[in-house]
Amino acid sequence: MLSIFLLLGLIVYKYLFKRKINLFYLLILISILPIVSIFRAGSYESGDLSLHAKRLISFYNLLVNYRLIPRWTPEFNAGYGDPHFLFAYFLPYFIGSIFHSIGISFLTSIKMLLSFSFIFSGITMYFWVKEELGKKAGFVAAIFYLFMPYHFVDLHFRVTIAENLSFVFLPAILLSIKKLIETNSKKWFVILAISLGLLILSHQAISLMFLPIMLAYGLFVWFRNNKKLKNIIYYFISILFGFFISSFHWLPIVNLAKFTQQGLNPTQILFPQVSQLLYSPWRLGFLFQSNIGELSYLIGYTQLFIIGISIYLIVKNKFNKKLKNLLVFFLIISAILFFMILPMSKSIWEVTPFLKYSQFSTRLLVILALCVSIIAGIVAKKINKNWFIVGLCFLTIAYTILNWGNRGTIPTIQDEYLKKEFDIKPDISGLEPSSPIWADLKKSQLRTKPKANIEILQGNAATKETARTPISHRYQINAFSSINIKENTLYFPGWTVEANKKLVSVNYSNPDFPGVISFDLPEGNYNVEVKFVDLPIIIFSKWLSLISLIILAIYSKASGKYWPFFPKSVF
């Protein structure tokens, strides 16, 4: 109904009032249509909306009450804890925390994150392609990007907040690369570094997959333009700063992932078949999720059509050299991505560092959406007929309409219900990928909340808990004999035990409760603190991020085109 009202309004505005339609404002109005259903009361029957809202509750509590960068998640594993936030994507939960801090519920904060991610992904795509090809092409590309079937699978069915957010930064990075290499501007140097940093903080796997493409695009723009050495050096330094400012997140992951269940047993990569990329088997091909939750990984019908048209136009030699080179570049990238999504690329995934942890090859559909969208913009630029552009955009929007909402919503699920779920509905499917390698569900009661936070296993002692935060547990212990104590927290590097300010040896390999902290104390009175401290690599990564941000801030205000990185005489 909203779509019909918008269409009628456009007809009246253009033909009755004789006004020219602003494509940017039209794009924003269209992008609102598929997100209206998100704000129905409650949570989804399928997908991870409730899961992310629960994790936001924990993240916000840690962020506001205890430390700036959450690392430990105390609610996981029935209260034994988990270093989930050390490895999970940072930016989506940080933005969700900002929404909650202004009075929005946790559940609605996740919905706001999904909605803003969707709208701004169209905006960044519009501005990038507009810069390359003009307003009409930018509008067409943005419509294709927004209404790519996989975008709706992420938005409404899987509810992957990190992949949704990554849609925003991919076009922003390519726009920044283009402007930086062409202008050597301080502004675009900083914007590129920050955009890349935000992408890394949004989704590590997408960042890794996108890195070769952004490097290739940078070289493509450089060869297309002046080929000055200083421009390409400046570009690579900006990329380095993108990694530096986000190092507080990815550097600990690289160093500490080996201590997690994921590092111990990398998840097998799941691949779709070719048919799944070409056709969705439900509702004549127009629904992207079955009634039992199966998902479609359709590239898209108009998307496939536009690829076919673009190849036909190349064969017929309909493009000038500049457009042809741009089109061929993204067609080649699209072909590589298509190959990498399919099972025949399995050996590449398995031998490429870090890529084997990506879980799904279909994550590449996020980047394929980017490539297909600019191909659509190039074709629209070449054909440049209003009837073709309007018809193409209308069909691209219309065939996705059955997917503008989740299959069902449960109104009774709100924040209070989710807060209780950590206790009343623990995860029984297995350990989180981020759980320590020493934890073992078969031998430890990690699905049953412990009766007490501290237990005396051997000896005789009186204990009293004096203070507790997620990362610091303090006790007064009066040991009447030598004692062995179990503190019901899973061990991970960073957990230490101090008794009367002196370090105590920690044991986490007891065969009766593997992975759980235990320690010995001789007879005496003790003030004991079990605390989670930053490891040297975490301290280093924080300082690297902070110093890099300070340098970028100074540089953005400094005079001199290349200062502080190079003296002008270098060029």
pLDDT in tens, 465-476: 999 998 999 999
In this structure, the answer to whether residues 462 and 408 fall within a common structural domain is no
- Number of separate domains in the chain: 2
User: Quick check: bond before 272 cis, omega within 30?
Assistant: no
Which of 416, 431, 446 delimits the end of a domain?
416
In this structure, the answer to whether residues 261 and 341 fall within a common structural domain is yes
Alpha-carbon gap, residue 320 to 265, rounded angstroms:
51
Alpha-carbon gap, residue 179 to 194, rounded angstroms:
14
Q: Is 555 inside a domain boundary?
A: no
Determine the straight-line distance between the first and last CA of the chain, rounded to whole angstroms.
60
In this structure, the answer to whether residues 216 and 347 fall within a common structural domain is yes
In this structure, the answer to whether residues 293 and 358 fall within a common structural domain is yes
Quote the longest CA-to-CA distance of the chain.
92
User: Quick check: bond before 564 cis, omega within 30?
Assistant: yes
In this structure, the answer to whether residues 374 and 497 fall within a common structural domain is no
Q: Tell me, what CATH number does 500's domain have?
A: 2.60.40
State whether the Cα torsion 6-12-14-19 is positive or negative: negative
Which of 356, 389, 416 delimits the end of a domain?
416
In this structure, the answer to whether residues 218 and 78 fall within a common structural domain is yes
Query: Do 333 and 170 meet the contact criterion of CB atoms below 8 Å apart?
Result: no
Q: Is 73 inside a domain boundary?
A: yes
Alpha helices in 203-300 (DSSP H): 204-224, 229-245, 247-256, 261-264, 274-278
Query: Do 99 and 60 meet the contact criterion of CB atoms below 8 Å apart?
Result: no
- Residue 565 tokens read as 């990185």
Burial of 264 (0-12, 13-18, 19+ CB in 10 A): middle
Q: Is 163 inside a domain boundary?
A: yes
Residue-wise over 181-195: b if at least 16 C-beta within 10 A, else e? bbebbbebbbbbbbb
Domain that holds residue 500: 454-532
**Three-state secondary structure call for residue 199:** helix
Of 158, 153, 150, 167, nearest to 116 by C-alpha is 167
Residue 561's pLDDT is what? 46
Q: Model confidence over 177-232: pLDDT tens digits?
A: 999 999 888 899 999 999 999 999 999 999 999 999 999 999 999 998 877 888 89
Alpha-carbon gap, residue 504 to 475, rounded angstroms:
14
In this structure, the answer to whether residues 84 and 174 fall within a common structural domain is yes
Phi, psi (5° rounding) for residue 360?
-125, 130
Q: Is 109 inside a domain boundary?
A: yes
In this structure, the answer to whether residues 78 and 148 fall within a common structural domain is yes
Query: Do 167 and 116 meet the contact criterion of CB atoms below 8 Å apart?
Result: no
Query: Do 334 and 307 meet the contact criterion of CB atoms below 8 Å apart?
Result: yes
* Contacts with 294 (C-beta within 8 Å, 6 or more apart), sequence order: none
Residues of the chain with pLDDT under 50: 426, 428, 559-571
Of 355, 303, 357, nearest to 331 by C-alpha is 303
CA angle 292/293/296 to nearest 5° reads: 120
Q: For 38, left (φ over 0), alpha (ψ -120 to 50), or beta?
A: alpha
Strand partners, 495: 532
User: How far lies 183's CA from each of 186, 196, 230, in Å?
Assistant: 9, 19, 11
User: How far lies 282's CA from each of 193, 293, 294, in Å?
Assistant: 42, 11, 10
In this structure, the answer to whether residues 186 and 70 fall within a common structural domain is yes
Q: Is 359 inside a domain boundary?
A: yes
Query: Do 489 and 81 meet the contact criterion of CB atoms below 8 Å apart?
Result: yes
Residue-wise over 51-63: b if at least 16 C-beta within 10 A, else e? bbbbbbbbbbbbb
Alpha-carbon gap, residue 437 to 449, rounded angstroms:
20
Alpha-carbon gap, residue 435 to 78, rounded angstroms:
12
Residue 423's pLDDT is what? 55
Quickly tell me which residue has 């269940």 as its tokens: 261
Residue 571's pLDDT is what? 31
In this structure, the answer to whether residues 211 and 85 fall within a common structural domain is yes
Q: Model confidence over 46-98: pLDDT tens digits?
A: 889 999 999 999 999 988 887 678 889 888 888 898 999 999 889 999 999 99
Query: Do 395 and 28 meet the contact criterion of CB atoms below 8 Å apart?
Result: no
In this structure, the answer to whether residues 234 and 169 fall within a common structural domain is yes
